[in-house]
Structures are given as structure tokens and as C-alpha cells.
Structure 1
Amino acid sequence: MRSELFAESNYEVEAAGTFVRQNSKMMKIELSQGNVKALAGSMVAYQGDVQFEHQGTGGFGKWLKQKVTGEGLPLMRIGGTGEIFLANNGADVHIIDLEGESISINGQNILAFSDTLQDDIQMVRGAGMASGGLFNTTLTGTGQVALCTDGPPLLLTTGEAATYVDPDAAVCWSAGLNIQVKADIGMKALIGRTSGEEFQLGFGGQGFVIVQPSENMRFGGPQDGGQEPGQEGPLGGLGNIFR
């Protein structure tokens, strides 16, 4: 039997480590190092004795944060022995090793992370409710995290001069940056069509920001400034509570 499908580049990647990138769209997790948390439904294959459990929010406080902010993910806890392969709708996969640091991540871009990491939903400093409220997932500790980006990412190094990013394109950034929201809300943003550029996040200080070449519509739809079905508005999940 002959086919380009049997090319060496398509074989499973055998490498040391818990999180192993298989190709640009898929990753493998070796479960011998302990449990992991992953986006529910992201499993595409596994080998061995693998168990899947629904991951709760971690108490009433986290549950309330998810409901109010719209941030957070349906997670599953994966344990057992063997290896599991994960992907998310053909998005590009990237792996970050945390060594005691903290990183702020758009929850919609998280694919999986080590159970050793502490996760929390926090309001982005400088982006209060006056700008609609912007909340991200913070991961802290020692472990690995796998991110998905909609296309090849751009790494921007921040410094004294502010770096401005569309909040819908911002994937993650180093903790400790000074953040401000630049808002330009006029009558055009409130009535009829908008440019979709009413908010920008400004990052200052030494660190980095990862930007993806698309917008996940956290602040509205691409054509008329309104929400697409199933998308949260600027207030995250807050509007859903009071409907």
C-alpha cells in the first residue's frame, strides 16, 4: 500500500516530556506524569487506560465568576496511564512551560494545562466594568499549558512605549504588565454600524503579548458590531444572568 499518508512526517512524534506537539494542529499528552485538565471534547484519539471526568468549576466562587464574566471553559480532567491526542477545530497548537511564573490567557484559547497549575478567573487590571469588563484566566505555578491560536501567532515584546492590541486578538500576555483600556465610544459606536475598533488594550512594562491573526469576537460581531449567535457581549456572561 502506498500513499503520502504514510510519510514519516505523519507518524506519531516520540519525544521526552508530558506535552508533546505532534504537528501544527495536534498535541499529545503522556499521562505517566499525572493528571491534566483539557477542553471538553478536544480528545481526538488515545492509547492505553485513560479516564475522563467532568471538571467542576472548583467551588461556588469560581462558578459565580464564570457565570458573571463569561470567562472560563468546559473542562475535563484526564487521568490514567497512556497517551491522549488533543486538537480544537484545526487551530494551531502551542505549548508553554511555566516555571513558577503567572500568565494571563484568554480562556477561549486554552486547550489543556497541567493539574499542578493553579487557575483563576481575574479581571484584567485597568480594564474595569466601565469598559465592559474584561476577564481572563490566570495560570500560576510549575507545569505546562497548551494554547490554540486561529492562525500563526505574533509575539510582541512590550516596553516603555505602550503596545496596543485588539482585545479579541490578544491570546495571552505575561503577568505584571501595566494595562490600560483605550476606548473611543461615540454615537457611531452606539447607533448603527461600528468599525469594531472601539476598544484597544494597551500594555506597558517589560514582557510579551501573543496576538493571533483573527478576532474571536469577545466584543461583538464582525459586520455590524452586534453579537453573533452564541457569542458573549462586552459584559461577558453578565447579560445572560439578568435575561
Structure 2
Amino acid sequence: MNRYTLEEFVQNTQQEDKGEGVFELETPRLLEINLTDTIWAKTGAMVSYRGKIKFEREGVFEHGVSKMFKKMLSGEGTSLMKATGDGKLYVADQGKKISILRLAQGESIFVNGNDLLAFEPSVRWDIKLMKKVSGMLAGGLFNVKLEGPGLVAITSHYEPLTLIVQPGDSVYTDPNATVAWSGDLKTEFVTDVSFKTFIGRGSGESIQMKFSGSGFVVVQPFEEVYTANGNQG
């Protein structure tokens, strides 16, 4: 167990400006946002802030009628908050590891709705409803497509692993352990009853996500289980 004097503790844990831009990792699990205008972040992710920052919950029609209906149909959704102003905003999500992605113009990525932490307003986004599979997951599954340019912060339980997908060499993953994947991949759900005693939860059969084409898939060594309202259980 580490023991510090008060002075030593402050020196070892104090915030430092690294000059890395809008998104800056203070620790592997705490994101500093150097706010000068507007940012979107997951509701409830704010840990601390300094400066003049105004917070607003995502309005029902904030992002248009079509996205509102998609959230209603999915039965769940990542609730967003808008932070506007000038200051430093610190966000985190249950101690999960944070990765910062810089999307170039035209680049896109799909992120599990529960693993999206924050993104710049220049990033275009839309909700992607996955094909429903009866009894697949408690609460269902939805993802957010994000298209650059701009910065996106995603989270994972422990260290993420990126798997490369190539034509003729598909990758299969557990939906509950899937964090993100590149925007050009083809996705579908497949089932394998013979594997039901080894993988998959609560469905009586193994439900897997199949990724085909050229790109990558990000997984985590942890299965996130969702309740009926889409929150992590």
C-alpha cells in the first residue's frame, strides 16, 4: 500500500496541462476536455470542471425527429449532454479505460452505445439499429455511427484488443464484448446452438456478431450485460 505525505500525494496526483489539444488523457481512465465552444458527452460522465461551462441534457428533438424515433424503437439509447462554454471539463465512465480517436474527413466508426464517452460537434452521427434476434440480449443492442472529421473518445473495460478483418477471413465476436468496428465492415448476427454451453448469456444459444470485408473490430475482455432499459447491469 502506497503511503504519502499530503505534499507527496498532491505532487503525484495533481492535474497537469500536456498541451495535447481539445481531448487530453489526464489518466488512462479520466479525460480532460479543453472546452472553448461545445462538446457532446455521455450524460452522467462529468466528474469535475472549472471555468464557465453550461450543461444541458439532450433535448427530445435535439438531433432531429428521425433519431428520436430510432431511440424510441430501439427501446434504449445513450443519453447525451451538451457542454458549452470556456473551461476544463473532466469526464469518465465507471473507471473504464479511455481511447481517443481522431477521425479524418470521410472516416467512420461504429461504437457500442454504452462505450461512447464524448465527441466533438464536427463529428456527424446516427443511431444504427442492429437486426433483432429473439432473446439475444436483455435490452437489445444498438450502436452509433460516427463520421469525421473530429475527435471521439470511447471506453472499454480493461485493455481493448483490435482484430483485423480481411476479405475471406471473417471475425466473430460476442456482442457483449464488442466495443467498436470500422465503418465499412458488413455485420450480421449468427447463431450456433452447439456452442450454447460455452459462450453467450441468457439466450439458451450462442449469439455472435460476424464481421466481413476489410477493416477492424475492437473487443474488450469483459461482457457488458444490459437491463431491459438499456442500462448496464
Alignment of 1:108-123 (within 5 A): 108-123=114-129
Q: Distance in 2 between matches of 1:196 and 1:166?
A: 14
- The reply to whether residue 139 of structure 1 matches residue 146 of structure 2 is yes
Q: How far 1:61 moved relative to its partner?
A: 2.0
CA RMSD of aligned residues (A): 2.6
Q: Residues 156 and 48 (structure 1 numbering): CA distance in 2 closer, same or farther, change over 3 Å?
A: same
Aligned residues between the structures: 215
- The reply to whether residue 47 of structure 1 matches residue 43 of structure 2 is no
Q: How far 1:42 moved relative to its partner?
A: 1.0
Task: Name which of 213, 220, 223 aligns with 1:215.
Answer: 223
> Mean Cα displacement is larger for which, 6-15 or 113-122?
6-15
Q: Which residue of the partner structure matches residue 16 of structure 1?
A: 20
Q: Distance in 1 between matches of 2:202 and 2:126?
A: 33
Q: List runs of 5+ in structure 1 lacking aligned partners.
A: 219-230, 238-243
Q: Distance in 1 between matches of 2:14 and 2:113?
A: 30
Give TM-score, length-normalised by structure 1.
0.79
Q: Residues 11 and 68 (structure 1 numbering): CA distance in 2 closer, same or farther, change over 3 Å?
A: same
Task: Name which of 95, 103, 109 aligns with 2:109.
Answer: 103
Quick one: percent identity of the two aligned structures? 36
Alignment of 1:68-83 (within 5 A): 68-83=73-88
Q: How far 1:214 moved relative to its partner?
A: 0.8
- The reply to whether residue 165 of structure 1 matches residue 173 of structure 2 is yes
Q: Residues 196 and 171 (structure 1 numbering): CA distance in 2 closer, same or farther, change over 3 Å?
A: farther
Q: How far 1:10 moved relative to its partner?
A: 4.2
Give TM-score, length-normalised by structure 2.
0.82
Q: List runs of 5+ in structure 2 lacking aligned partners.
A: none
In the TM superposition, what whole-angstrom CA distance separates every residue of 1:155-174 from its partner, at most 9, and x where no partner exists? Answer: 11111211111011110000
Q: Distance in 2 between matches of 1:116 and 1:173?
A: 20
